Structure 1
Amino acid sequence: MAEPAGFPARRAALRMLDAVLRRGDTLDTAAGATKGLPPSDAALARVIAAETLRNMADLDALIDAATRQRLPDDAKARTVLRMMLVQALRMDSAPHAIIATCLPLLAGGPRRLAHGVFSAILKQGKALPEAPTLPDEVQARWSQAWPDRVDAIAAGLASPPPLDITLRDAEQTEQWAGDLGAEVLASGQLRLPRGQAVESLPGFADGAWWVQDLAAALPAMLLGAGEGRRVLDLCAAPGGKTMQLAASGWQVMALDIAKRRLERLRQNLARTALSAEVICADAFKWQPDTGFDAILLDAPCTATGTCRRHPDVLHRIGQRQIDELAELQTALIAKATEWLNPGGVLVYATCSLEPEEGERQAEAVTLAPDPVRADELPAGLQPTGEGWVRTDPGMMPERGGLDGFFIARFRKAG
């Protein structure tokens, strides 16, 4: 029997969710389940999986209220019901199409149960809340860390983010804003509505810009103009900050241990006609010939600050991963401190909402603080009292929000 149209995309979405929730894979890694699908089906599978993860706590609450006996968390029927409900309640898909393409996923299983629960919830007129409910462990962590911000952060996760780009030439900001119909966030930083095919937009093929969330662009911006000085982009791949630094006149050395991600960096450099010395090496085994005038350390982290674009982090990351990465970050800061020339500047950053990866790291740095000033930041953002930068998905809500980042700047004694 031929598979119903749309079924392969739902099957791929189920496999992606299984990879994230059972194996702890990232959603990007799990996207291998879409191999061989037409681009439209692959995109649909990813959207279904991402929206299921974004709204999972609320989907589970609806399912539990509609079942006499609670389905196990890892039951296939629960995952399929999550997918069915998110398509109906968040993606506005037709119920008959959802039933036709999702119930076959339960062949040999409780199809009648899933059909009955799904139909009952829709008949009752149930809806998902505007702001997703955070998973219990995440809610507990962020309520303790950010008691005044946790509700705004949750509200900022309601939708996938818009498309932010960084221009190779900041002097062309107004020109590209007009050509792309984009909003200007800062000099050299534009925002477009999400859902656009990036490769087909004017200027992409010519290397005039690259995709980069505004928050992710801040660390390199805080190093200013390079004027030919030497900078190390430590943990550089896939290269957004490397390109920013090169475009700002720095002599850039880009170091990373990930060979595949560095290949993407090289491709981006070639497309933008920017130059940097690219080195594939383990930072703990590599030693530079000379010191650097500046080092940008965008350290490996849990990436919980990217939860609006990568909602899998809400379900994969716990205290164990936070503690392990915090140890790595401390060791990398020590290396960067060692390699910095006297008078040199270190910018430390993580795309994490966990204080252990941000504020606690900055408190332990032995270099002198170099506080960030308000006039160095785009309108709408302010440094903390310590002169650090902390962004989260609930900031600038009227303009589409931000990724969560922590940034601190230091200077080595001359």
Structure 2
Amino acid sequence: MAAKPGFAARKAAADILGNVVHKRHAIDAELDLQSGHSGFRSLPNNDRGLVRAIVGASLRHRGEINEILARLLDRKIPEKTGRVVDILHIAIAQMLFLEVPDRAAVDLAVDHAGADRRARPYKGLVNGVLRRLGRERANVTAELDAIRLNTPDWLYESWVESFDAATARAIAEAHQGEAGIDLSFKEWSDENAKTWAEKLGGTIVAGGSIRLNEKSAVDQLEGYSDGIWWVQDAAATLPARLLGDIAGKKVADLCAAPGGKTLQLAAAGANVTAVDISKSRLKRVSENLARLKLQADVVTADLKTWEPTEPFDAILLDAPCSATGTIRRHPDLPWIKQAYDIGKLSEIQSELLERALSWLKPGGTLVYCTCSLQPEEGVAQIDALLKNRQDVEILPVKAEEIGGLDTSITPQGFLRTLPFHPATADGSLIGLDGFFAARLRKF
């Protein structure tokens, strides 16, 4: 018997969700059209969009759904029951957070359980739990603290300790919404920005990026094929701006992929060397350079062993990190990262920061940045560095360098954007990726 319409999409969604939360696979890898989940890749475009929406909602509301299931179940579902729990999660995500009729979500979930050899004995449980949710939705979901539930304890508590309780909650609340799409322009001016904002239907945000008012397929938008712009979160553009006037200077972009900062530096007239350990990710950097008709020396290398032939005038080190500042666009991160990952990453960051400084000319500028909210990966790195070295000083960030976003400058002069921070100087638009950046000068 042929599967019902939508069955393949739900099966792919449950498989992908399971791979993310049980095997710690990155969602981007699972959804990659060249190497990702085979069931997802075989779907038509519309169904792929549905899978993305279902998995995204399931991850963004994972803690909430876990609590709802605890209220609906008399006892915990045993292990080795196939995809039962994942099937329930994607069904509940559809029923509560997506515009999918209850009947469709329930029927397809029951069919899925029946088609899974290990889940088949729990087909009746799946049916009963979901139908009860449909009947008792108001009671089952009453008095849920969704904002708190949807952030793992270790992560939420780290933000309370690093910032304060109100800030931690504001961060977690911001993660309940999806990030917008921001565009950076090769040739920027006030007039050009206004023109393209009108053409594309967007708003000018921090530092001159344009945030689209509605999500759409970016490669179909005007200006893409002509190399006018590229996609890059507004906050991600700020660290490169801190290098100042780099026209004609020799500049390194370390840990360069996916390449937005490389494009910024090249567009600003620098002689750029872009280094990253991932050959496949650097391929995308080279493709974007070609599309935008920009030049850079692209190098595949491990920074732990690589050595440049001569020192640089300026260096941008976007160090490997936990990426907890990007949870709005990567809702898998809270569920695939663990507290111990931060310590391992911090050691790598410290090593790379020392090596990068050794490649900088005296009098040169280095910007260290991470898209992390964790202090171990930001301010703690700089504090430790300054204790051990007398030949480095902080060059404080000024509001006019980052589009007037004074709320994103710390008392020490570091850049610190948070997901709920204003994206415009007047506060009319909210939402940025979480970034830390420190600007250093070497004597």
Question: Normalising by structure 2, what TM-score?
Answer: 0.90
Whether the aligned pair in 2 keeps the contact of 1:161 and 1:400 (CA below 8 Å) is no
Whether the aligned pair in 1 keeps the contact of 2:254 and 2:274 (CA below 8 Å) is yes
Tell me the equivalent position of 1:20: 20
Structure 1 residue aligned with 2:297, among 264, 277, 281?
A: 277
Tell me the equivalent position of 1:407: 437
1:318 is aligned to 2:338? yes
Secondary structure of 1:170 counterpart: coil
2:245 maps to a residue whose letter is A
Unaligned stretches of 5+ residues in structure 2 = 115-119
1:146 is aligned to 2:163? yes
Give the drift of 1:346. 0.5
Secondary structure of 1:110 counterpart: helix
1:389 is aligned to 2:419? no
Note closer, same or farther for the CA distance 1:181–1:73 as it changes in structure 2 (3 Å cut): farther
Give the drift of 1:149. 0.9
RMSD of aligned alpha carbons: 1.7
Looking at structure 2, the residues matched to 321 and 187 of structure 1 have their Cα atoms a distance apart, in angstroms, of 32
Looking at structure 1, the residues matched to 79 and 312 of structure 2 have their Cα atoms a distance apart, in angstroms, of 51
Unaligned stretches of 5+ residues in structure 1 = none
Tell me the equivalent position of 1:11: 11
Tell me the equivalent position of 1:155: 173
Whether the aligned pair in 2 keeps the contact of 1:59 and 1:82 (CA below 8 Å) is yes
Which deviates more from structure 2 when the two are superposed, residues 118-127 or residues 194-203? 118-127
Tell me the equivalent position of 1:101: 108
Looking at structure 2, the residues matched to 341 and 262 of structure 1 have their Cα atoms a distance apart, in angstroms, of 26
Note closer, same or farther for the CA distance 1:18–1:161 as it changes in structure 2 (3 Å cut): same
Q: Give the paired residue count.
A: 413
2:237 maps to a residue whose letter is A
Cα shift readout 1:319-377 (whole Å, capped 9, x = no counterpart): 22111111110010011110000110000010111111111111122321111012212
1:3-402 paired onto structure 2 within 5 Å? 3-31=3-31, 32-33=36-37, 34-71=40-77, 76-107=83-114, 108-126=120-138, 127=141, 131=147, 133=149, 134-147=151-164, 148-171=166-189, 172-365=192-385, 366=389, 367-380=392-405, 381-396=407-422, 399-402=429-432
Looking at structure 1, the residues matched to 27 and 129 of structure 2 have their Cα atoms a distance apart, in angstroms, of 27
Which deviates more from structure 2 when the two are superposed, residues 232-241 or residues 25-34? 25-34
1:26 maps to a residue whose letter is A
Looking at structure 1, the residues matched to 358 and 246 of structure 2 have their Cα atoms a distance apart, in angstroms, of 21
Note closer, same or farther for the CA distance 1:74–1:198 as it changes in structure 2 (3 Å cut): farther
Whether the aligned pair in 1 keeps the contact of 2:27 and 2:330 (CA below 8 Å) is yes
Looking at structure 2, the residues matched to 73 and 24 of structure 1 have their Cα atoms a distance apart, in angstroms, of 18
1:117 maps to a residue whose letter is V
1:77 maps to a residue whose letter is V
1:6 maps to a residue whose letter is G
Note closer, same or farther for the CA distance 1:141–1:369 as it changes in structure 2 (3 Å cut): same
Note closer, same or farther for the CA distance 1:222–1:258 as it changes in structure 2 (3 Å cut): same
Looking at structure 1, the residues matched to 63 and 238 of structure 2 have their Cα atoms a distance apart, in angstroms, of 32
Question: Normalising by structure 1, what TM-score?
Answer: 0.96
Cα shift readout 1:354-402 (whole Å, capped 9, x = no counterpart): 1111111111223211110122122444310000011121222862411
Give the drift of 1:72. 5.2
Whether the aligned pair in 2 keeps the contact of 1:161 and 1:194 (CA below 8 Å) is no
